[in-house]
Chains A and B, each alone.
Chain A
Amino acid sequence: MTTTLPPGTHVSGDDPNVLIDDDYASYEPIPPYPPRTEREAEFYTLGDGEMYLNMGPQHPSTHGVLRVVLKLEGERVVDIDPVLGYLHRGVEKLCENADYHQTISQVDPLEYVSSLFMEWGPVMAYEKLLDIQVPRRAEYIRVLSGELNRIASHALFMGWFALDLGGLTPILWSFIERDEIVEMLAALTGQRMLFNYFRIGGVNGDLNHEFLSRLGDWMSRAVGQIDANTKLLNENEIFVRRASGLGVIDTDMALKLCMTGPNLRATGLPYDIRRAHPYSVYPELDFEVPTRSEGDSLARYLLRMEEVKQSLRIIDQCLHQMPDGPIMAKLPRLLRPRPGRAWAALEGPRGLYGAYAISDGTDQPFRLKIHDPSFIHLQAVGALLPGHLLADTMAIMASLDPIMGGVDK
């Protein structure tokens, strides 16, 4: 390298084409190397009257550690370039090097708001690899705890969304609900957030008295409480006018962007894995798949609140139909599935959670691919945002509900 390097920089030890900044200048939005792709060149070329704004990696409303470079024209967002990797832990590699049981606790912290769904995918994939029949009671317990977790996640979404639109009160209210559910699940699983509860072939523990008494207590007033919470926002004119027409997307575009879950259903397509490709005991349960046609942020919010009501219906049915019996299939401690491949997908609070497991006949998965909807939905922000105001950035992102733990695997 010549002596023309800018002061405070040196050449990277890995790639000589990349310069490393030692100073605080590394927080400049423009990367210190020539553009690597067509798209990067396009983004990092300023048009007339445009400017960059660097947001993050620790912006308080980014829902995790995310850096976003915005290209602005006045107060309008022209383009957006999310920079990921601040939470990347290499979980898939760790799973390849752990045995089948250990991977369940490895994938837990990916989705730290609704961990049960993140456990469910790999567990289902392993069960397919092993050809195990899971006892019905275990399946019911999974559905019951999963739906509780879905409500907890949607409650948090409601608070966050309002917070990113500038309202502080809803997050305090929604945490009342979330806290009760989280304590309930702690009584069931032993952990408040990273449950590590599902096992290959069943669940870790049976329903206990504390869980059931907390659940019964909460169920008796849940509908009223949730109605009171949503009334705070649904009838708030500032909130409704702000959120409607924000980040509109239609079904075709949503499918092209690989979106799933509430964000896709808010465009009018009733695509819910629980009905589209039934798993567990969902075929035996009676619930509706709510849809809305507007496809904007308000629709995404209202749809999730509808889903909470359906989840309550499912929990009620689970409690009434819960069969007796074992909660674990009979399995050896050391699992060696025959060589093969299995894909399992399920409907979580954010969309399609998937796991693709490959076995090579040993006690460790040869490959475990985790599919997380947050990753896909964060990508969709780039398609929804252009044309909106800077202040709407976080509102649109929050309405898609990505969790950075799942984005950075």
Chain B
Amino acid sequence: MDRALKLRLEARFGGVLRGPVRQRQDQTEIRIAPRDVTDVLRALHDEPPFSFPVLADLAGVDTGDTLQVVYHLWSGTTSDWLRVIAEGLPREDPRVPSATFLWKGAEWMERETYDMFGIVFEGNRDLRRIYMPADYTSFPLRKDFYLADDAARSPGAGVRHMERSHAPNDAVAGTVRRTGAA
């Protein structure tokens, strides 16, 4: 845990942070609103006390009610990984500024996140589906997208098959119709 980084972050971004700077093990986490992503990422990338040159990862998260975009950054100025969470994206129209103005390599990561969560990255020149076919209309990694197979129900459905010796409460009565099997 890098306490100095926490102080630097609080001093620089005090106004835009949502909630406290959280630290656990080798990770420091800040939460911001989607509209502040451009400013915060630019400051983290450019300003000498931070100067994060490496975007290690960009991930989408569906919390169940809202969507989030999570950035992981690395810098030689700190011993921690920095996690920036842009939180509170509405499910109906999730929009967040693109990070491609700093890291061109974020383009495909944003395409993947768009493909899986439907999050629109404003400013990405190539925001089309990357894995799923062009005529696909769902967003598979959202929590309201269930797997068809009963043995692999989403945690949202409350099924914990390892804890139960027999059928879960909400299992379909009768035989389970499997498609595709002979």
Which residues of A are at the interface with B, using a C-beta cutoff of 8 A?
12-15, 18, 20, 31, 33, 36-40, 84-85, 88, 90, 92-94, 96-99, 128, 131, 255-260, 271, 276-277, 334, 340-343, 345, 352, 354, 356, 358, 360, 362-364, 366-367, 369, 371, 375-376, 379-380, 383, 408-409
Q: Which residue on chain A has the smallest CB distance to residue B146? A: A97
Contact present for A97 and B152 (CB under 8 Å): yes
Q: Which of B79, B104, B137, B160 is in CB contact (< 8 Å) with A15?
A: B137
Contact present for B24 and A340 (CB under 8 Å): yes
Contact present for A345 and B81 (CB under 8 Å): yes
Selecting from B3-11, B25-33, B34-42, B168-176, the interface stretch reads B25-33
With contacts A256-B105, A343-B27, A371-B56 taken as known, whether A12 is within 8 angstroms of B135 at the C-beta atoms is yes
List residues of chain B with CB within 8 A of the CB of A90.
140
List residues of chain B with CB within 8 A of the CB of A85.
129-133
Q: Which of A277, A363, A367, A380 is in CB contact (< 8 Å) with B160?
A: A363
- CB neighbors of A among B108-158 (8 A): 108-109, 112, 116, 125-137, 140-141, 145, 147, 152-155
List residues of chain A with CB within 8 A of the CB of B54.
255, 258, 260, 271
Contact present for A84 and B130 (CB under 8 Å): yes
Contact present for A345 and B153 (CB under 8 Å): no
Can you name 15 A-B pairs with beta carbons within 8 Å? A13-B135, A15-B136, A36-B128, A40-B128, A84-B131, A85-B129, A92-B141, A93-B140, A96-B141, A255-B54, A343-B81, A345-B57, A354-B72, A367-B62, A376-B108
Q: Nearest Cβ distance between residue A164 and chain B, in whole angstroms?
A: 22
A-B contact count (CB 8 A): 148
Contact present for A356 and B104 (CB under 8 Å): no
The 7 closest A-B pairs by CB, nearest first: A258-B105, A39-B126, A18-B135, A12-B135, A369-B59, A257-B105, A97-B152
Q: Nearest Cβ distance between residue B114 and chain A, in whole angstroms?
A: 10
List residues of chain A with CB within 8 A of the CB of B60.
369
List residues of chain A with CB within 8 A of the CB of B79.
277
List residues of chain B with CB within 8 A of the CB of A363.
160, 162-163
List residues of chain A with CB within 8 A of the CB of B90.
none
Contact present for A256 and B128 (CB under 8 Å): no
Roughly how many angstroms separate A276 CA and B102 CA in the complex, as a whole number? 21
List residues of chain B with CB within 8 A of the CB of A128.
24-25, 27
Q: Which of B29, B62, B128, B154 is in CB contact (< 8 Å) with A97?
A: B154
Contact present for A257 and B61 (CB under 8 Å): no
Q: Which residue on chain A has the smallest CB distance to residue B104? A: A256
List residues of chain A with CB within 8 A of the CB of B61.
358, 367, 369
Contact present for A362 and B155 (CB under 8 Å): yes
Roughly how many angstroms separate A116 CA and B154 CA in the complex, as a whole number? 27
List residues of chain A with CB within 8 A of the CB of B109.
258, 375-376
Contact present for A88 and B135 (CB under 8 Å): no
List residues of chain A with CB within 8 A of the CB of B53.
255
Q: Does B21 contact A (CB under 8 A)?
A: no
List residues of chain A with CB within 8 A of the CB of B152.
94, 97-98
Contact present for A409 and B131 (CB under 8 Å): yes
List residues of chain A with CB within 8 A of the CB of B154.
96-97
List residues of chain A with CB within 8 A of the CB of B59.
356, 367, 369, 371
List residues of chain B with CB within 8 A of the CB of A409.
131
With contacts A276-B76, A277-B79, A362-B160 taken as known, whether A96 is within 8 angstroms of B131 at the C-beta atoms is no
Q: Nearest Cβ distance between residue B19 and chain A, in whole angstroms?
A: 13
Roughly how many angstroms separate A352 CA and B160 CA in the complex, as a whole number? 33
With contacts A98-B152, A366-B155, A369-B59 taken as known, whether A375 is within 8 angstroms of B70 at the C-beta atoms is no
Contact present for B105 and A259 (CB under 8 Å): yes
With contacts A90-B140, A362-B155, A379-B107 taken as known, whether A37 is within 8 angstroms of B162 at the C-beta atoms is no
Contact present for B126 and A37 (CB under 8 Å): yes
- Additional A-B contact list (6), CB under 8 Å, known A33-B134, A343-B72, A343-B83: A18-B135, A97-B155, A258-B54, A271-B54, A356-B70, A369-B60
Q: Nearest Cβ distance between residue B60 and chain A, in whole angstroms?
A: 8
Q: Nearest Cβ distance between residue B5 and chain A, in whole angstroms?
A: 13
Q: Does B17 contact A (CB under 8 A)?
A: no
Q: Which of B108, B127, B134, B160 is in CB contact (< 8 Å) with A379?
A: B108
Roughly how many angstroms separate A13 CA and B74 CA in the complex, as a whole number? 44
Q: Does B89 contact A (CB under 8 A)?
A: no
Q: Which of B55, B81, B105 is in CB contact (< 8 Å) with A277?
A: B81
Contact present for B155 and A356 (CB under 8 Å): no
Contact present for A352 and B29 (CB under 8 Å): no
List residues of chain A with CB within 8 A of the CB of B62.
367
Contact present for B147 and A376 (CB under 8 Å): no
List residues of chain A with CB within 8 A of the CB of B26.
277
Roughly how many angstroms separate A395 CA and B163 CA in the complex, as a whole number? 51
Q: Nearest Cβ distance between residue A195 and chain B, in whole angstroms?
A: 23
With contacts A12-B135, A276-B74, A360-B155 taken as known, whether A38 is within 8 angstroms of B126 at the C-beta atoms is yes
Q: Which of B55, B125, B153 is in CB contact (< 8 Å) with A37?
A: B125
Q: Which residue on chain A has the smallest CB distance to residue B116? A: A92
Q: Which residue on chain A has the smallest CB distance to residue B102? A: A256
With contacts A256-B103, A362-B160, A363-B162 taken as known, whether A369 is within 8 angstroms of B57 at the C-beta atoms is yes
